[in-house]
């Protein structure tokens, strides 16, 4: 028996993974909010987040490293000297 495997399962899976990341990860939530503020619709922001997470997964597998949220979603820190 042959089972055809295509891209039909990628989109719903990506939406679930992105939604879970938005709910559990402050960095992913900030990335999603930045995309929404930039004008992306909900699905486009989720798709962008999912692609970012796939890129992080690829990097981790390729470099044989564990996932580090602070490296995946670095926060932009504003120094007090630059703000003054």
Segment 17-29, tens digit of pLDDT? 898 999 999 999 9
Segment 32-72, tens digit of pLDDT? 999 999 999 999 999 999 999 999 999 999 999 998 888 88
In eight-state DSSP terms, residue 73 is: S
pLDDT of residue 72: 85
Q: The whole model's pTM is what? A: 0.74
Domain boundaries, the chain: 11-68
Cβ contact 11:3 at 8 Å? no
* HSE-up of residue 32 (Cα within 13 Å, Cβ side): 21
Q: How far apart are CA 50 and CA 73, in angstroms?
A: 13
Q: How far apart are CA 72 and CA 56, in angstroms?
A: 6
């Amino acid at each position: 028996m042959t089972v055809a495997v295509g891209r039909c399962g990628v989109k719903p899976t990506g939406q679930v993974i992105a939604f879970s990341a938005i709910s559990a990860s402050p960095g992913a939530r900030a990335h999603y909010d930045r995309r929404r503020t930039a004008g992306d619709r909900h699905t486009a922001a989720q798709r962008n987040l999912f692609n970012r997470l796939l890129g992080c997964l690829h990097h981790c597998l390729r470099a044989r490293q564990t996932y580090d949220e602070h490296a995946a979603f670095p926060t932009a820190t504003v120094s007090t000297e630059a703000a003054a």
